Amino acid sequence: MPFSAFSFQRSAFSLLVTLFLIFAFPISFALAQSPTESITGSPTCDLCGWCAGGEKPGSWEACQACIYTEDGSIEPGAYWTVAGCLSTKPEMFVKSVLNVVFAVSGGLAFLAFIGGSALVLTSSGNPEKLNNGKSIVISSILGLLLIIFSVFILRFVGVDILRIPGFG
């Protein structure tokens, strides 16, 4: 069966949906519990999983920056997850979702570029495979340019024109 741009796009979309379903729903907020208190009343564990006298988790510093404010109080609406710092504030939530969307779409465009390049390299003089590979490479380059310029335009409009708070 010949390789076509449509089948590649369909398989890339299937992969994207599968990865989204795998990583979107198993996020557990079990770590966001109240600190345990000792007999003296001072907490022995913080919200980032470090307990007094124990070893700090690998992402402890990033979790601290996410959950706690400068004065040590808990930041309202901030949650540390496997996917990083998520906020329930609308502007911060949209910002984190857009970061994930642009990163995933850029990665998919790069994989399409690699796949199209491999198709061109393995075409063995077959003009149909060669043209198909060229169209995939050109489409992926145009997709990357579209992603880059859409991020630029989104930030320009959001920060400079509309002055959306927390968007810069």
- For the chain, the average pLDDT equals 80
The pLDDT tens digits for 14-41 are 877 777 766 666 555 555 556 555 556 5
Which comes out higher in pLDDT, residue 21 or 107? 107
Confidence tier at 131 by pLDDT (50, 70, 90) = very high
pLDDT at res. 24: 67
pTM for the full model?
A: 0.56
Per the CB < 8 A criterion, the answer to whether 52 and 46 are in contact is no
The Cα–Cα gap between 120 and 161 comes to 43
- The encoded tokens of residue 63 equal 């979790």
The pLDDT tens digits for 35-77 are 555 556 565 777 887 887 778 888 888 888 888 888 888 888 8
Burial of 60 (0-12, 13-18, 19+ CB in 10 A): middle
Angle subtended at Cα 74 by Cα 83 and Cα 84, rounded to the nearest 5 degrees:
10
pLDDT at res. 116: 94
Pick from 58, 81, 104: which residue ends a domain?
81
pLDDT at res. 1: 47
Task: Kindly state whether residues 57 and 112 are assigned to the same domain.
Answer: no
Task: Give a yes or no: residue 167 inside a domain.
Answer: no
Task: Kindly state whether residues 15 and 33 are assigned to the same domain.
Answer: no
- The encoded tokens of residue 68 equal 């706690």
Task: Give a yes or no: residue 168 inside a domain.
Answer: no
pLDDT at res. 141: 94
pLDDT at res. 142: 94
> Does residue 147 register a pLDDT over 70?
yes
Task: Kindly state whether residues 21 and 34 are assigned to the same domain.
Answer: no
Task: Give a yes or no: residue 133 inside a domain.
Answer: yes
Structural domain for 141, as ranges:
5-25+89-161
pLDDT at res. 30: 53
- The encoded tokens of residue 160 equal 């400079």
The pLDDT tens digits for 108-120 are 999 999 999 999 9
pLDDT at res. 60: 83
